[in-house]
Amino acid sequence: MQLDTSQTNHQAQNFIAGKWQKSAGETRPVISPYTGKNCGEVFYINKDDFNSAVDSAKSAQKQWAQTPLKARSAVLFNFRNILLRDQDKISHIVALENGKTINEARAGLMKGIEVLEYALSLQNSDIGGKMEVSRGVFCEYRREPLGVVGSITPFNFPAMVPMWTIPIAIVLGNAYVWKPSEKTPLTSKFVADAFAEAGLPSGILTVAQGEKEVVEMITTHPDIKAVAFVGSTKVAEIVYKSATAHNKRALCLGGAKNHIILLPDADLDVTGMGISDSFTGCAGQRCMAASVLLAVGEVDKHIEKIKERAQSQVLGESMGAIITREQCDFLYQAIEDAVKDGATLILDGRESKKPSDMREGHWIGPTILDNVAPGSVAACSELFGPILSIIRCKNVTEAIEIQNSSVYGNAASVFTSSGPMAEYVAAHAECGMFGVNIGVPVPREPFSFGGVKASKFGHGDITGDHSLDFWTDVKKVTTKWEMQKDSNWMS
């Protein structure tokens, strides 16, 4: 499928009580990173419409909570079929507004569908538990939804990140209020329309467009019981503090600076592709992208392989664009600053060939900085672009120390052919997700996703088994129907 960059008239409105509404807030253009030009418009929700959306969500949720889990799952089954049917259309809008390649957009949607499939499995696996604790006395767990829950998502995965939480929260009986990124709001139309077609009752999914003001509406509204956030660390902390100050449960995933420890015994081909694709995929705009390579000992042959593979990327074909002009300018500047700080530029993405028909897009190619000093900006700050900073290390101990000195703790990996060494690094790296010879160690369902340190505020994870207690309360029910002869201390 070819990307059609001539589309300019997409609209992102607000989905309130099952209907799309412009609301009376501001209107903003949505810019495609491919062209630097409008591909649509987003209409921000105002406070009155937001409050009325939450009222509708609250009343719809009461019915939804009483619908058996298997019946709720039936709606999500329909939703899955619609997403699969419409995957071309959805991948296209994701690519257009976000700058990913269509293949990357499709892969993100598929990962979202994998989380949806996990949510569908709950009807068979999340059966609580019941046992006779004394003669004639039974204890039982019952999972109960919280009510209305809120979620704020970033620009970098317009379909996948929302799908980390929407299916699980909804199948468990909650109503869900979603604020997409104002930079990539168009995909929400396709997701909400798919839910409506699947038979989701009106009010169970709300889409509220906007920026900071709408985030504040979510974190302060008394009827919203829990808030999930995914985005930068700075905003994750703001949202976490506001939501918890308003007595809400909050789980806020933040930014990252992911380290890869490369050892001389690593397989050359696995390393070349694994590390290169990790920092260039999605043009480096993923929280799981490799951004620091801790090169232990003599690994020049490996670095050459990484560079060769990165050089083969073609902007506008195998590699997409950067979300905004400002972010692209920031990356250009970050490269210049790193060189001033003493780094050696061994691959300069500022010189990569731009697609001739989309010269106004936000382009930068793969960039590799060698001999980066630990403690410098290129070594420590999240740049969020296709830039790999190489720090030369004497030994694994030094590499682990540098990795663990990061404020972030999202992901880390080791590339080696030694099992004991891989185990050693896995045991000592401070991160939530770890990979062995894997450049992007995203856990696949049913394994949960989530970091530690400044990459996450709150407890638990955002997907998989470790997410269930976030979206629900567990009621403990103890039952006795008749007097028992052999009463004990408990009965």
470 binds ligand NAD (CB under 6 A): no
Binding residues for ligand NAD, rule CB under 6 A, total 28
Which of these ranges, 44-52, 224-232, 411-419, 473-481, lies near ligand NAD under the rule CB under 6 A? 224-232
- For 75, other C-beta atoms within 10 Å of its C-beta total 19
3-state secondary structure of 201: coil
In the bound complex, what is the minimum distance in angstroms from residue 239's beta carbon to ligand NAD?
6
Query: Applying CB under 6 A, which of residues 230, 251, 266, 293 lies at the interface with ligand NAD?
Result: 230
177 binds ligand NAD (CB under 6 A): no
In sequence order, the 6+-apart residues with CB closer than 8 A to the CB of 267 are 415, 417, 437
Q: At what angle do helices 69-85 and 187-198 cross, to 10 degrees?
A: 130
Is the Cβ of residue 181 or residue 313 nearer to ligand NAD in the bound state?
Answer: 181
403 binds ligand NAD (CB under 6 A): no
Give just the sign of the alpha carbon dihedral 296, 298, 302, 307.
positive
Query: Applying CB under 6 A, which of residues 211, 237, 341, 430 lies at the interface with ligand NAD?
Result: 211
Query: Applying CB under 6 A, which of residues 54, 170, 224, 253 lies at the interface with ligand NAD?
Result: 253
In the bound complex, what is the minimum distance in angstroms from residue 452's beta carbon to ligand NAD?
11
Report helix, strand and coil shares of the chain as percent, to nearest 5.
40, 25, 35
In the bound complex, what is the minimum distance in angstroms from residue 45's beta carbon to ligand NAD?
13
Pair 208, 217: CB distance under 8 Å = yes
Which of the 8 DSSP states describes residue 444?
P
Residue nearest to ligand NAD (CB): 231
Query: Applying CB under 6 A, which of residues 16, 191, 192, 235 lies at the interface with ligand NAD?
Result: 235
Given the residues 39, 252, 282, 287, the one annotated as active site: 287
315 binds ligand NAD (CB under 6 A): no
**Footprint on residues 369-388 left by ligand NAD (CB under 6 A):** 382, 384
Measured between alpha carbons, how far is residue 360 from residues 3, 5, 36, 192, 328 in Å? Answer: 16, 12, 5, 31, 12
Tally: H helices and E strands in the chain: 15, 23
134 binds ligand NAD (CB under 6 A): no
**Footprint on residues 438-467 left by ligand NAD (CB under 6 A):** 451, 455
Q: Give the type of residue at 172.
A: L
Partner residues linked to 392 by β-bridges = 295
In the bound complex, what is the minimum distance in angstroms from residue 74's beta carbon to ligand NAD?
30
How many angstroms separate the CA atoms of 63 and 430, rounded? 44
163 binds ligand NAD (CB under 6 A): no
How many angstroms separate the CA atoms of 454 and 406, rounded? 9
In sequence order, the 6+-apart residues with CB closer than 8 A to the CB of 127 are none
Query: Applying CB under 6 A, which of residues 161, 163, 175, 422 lies at the interface with ligand NAD?
Result: 161
Query: Applying CB under 6 A, which of residues 203, 231, 272, 458 lies at the interface with ligand NAD?
Result: 231
Q: Give the type of residue at 349.
A: G
According to DSSP, the β-strands at 137-145 and 129-134 are antiparallel
Is the Cβ of residue 282 or residue 303 nearer to ligand NAD in the bound state?
Answer: 282
Which of these ranges, 50-58, 234-242, 314-322, 329-337, lies near ligand NAD under the rule CB under 6 A? 234-242
Measured between alpha carbons, how far is residue 440 from residues 51, 315, 364, 415 in Å? Answer: 40, 21, 21, 12
In the bound complex, what is the minimum distance in angstroms from residue 281's beta carbon to ligand NAD?
13
53 binds ligand NAD (CB under 6 A): no
According to DSSP, the β-strands at 456-457 and 411-415 are unpaired
In the bound complex, what is the minimum distance in angstroms from residue 156's beta carbon to ligand NAD?
5
Is-catalytic flag, 39?
no
What is the b/e burial string over 264-297, where b = at least 16 CB atoms within 10 angstroms of the residue's CB? eebeeebbbebbbbbbbbbbbbbbbbbbbbbbbe
Query: Applying CB under 6 A, which of residues 85, 130, 142, 212 lies at the interface with ligand NAD?
Result: 212
Tokens matching residue 336: 């210049």
Tokens matching residue 107: 């892969």
**Footprint on residues 271-300 left by ligand NAD (CB under 6 A):** 287
Pair 204, 64: CB distance under 8 Å = yes
Is the Cβ of residue 296 or residue 323 nearer to ligand NAD in the bound state?
Answer: 323
How many angstroms separate the CA atoms of 469 and 474, rounded? 8
Which of these ranges, 70-78, 92-100, 211-219, 264-272, lies near ligand NAD under the rule CB under 6 A? 211-219
Partner residues linked to 462 by β-bridges = none
Which of these ranges, 2-10, 32-40, 146-154, 258-266, lies near ligand NAD under the rule CB under 6 A? 146-154
In the bound complex, what is the minimum distance in angstroms from residue 225's beta carbon to ligand NAD?
19
Q: Which residues are catalytic?
A: 287
Q: What residues make contact with ligand NAD under the rule CB under 6 A?
A: 152-156, 161, 179, 181-182, 211-212, 215, 230-232, 235, 238-239, 253-256, 287, 382, 384, 410, 451, 455
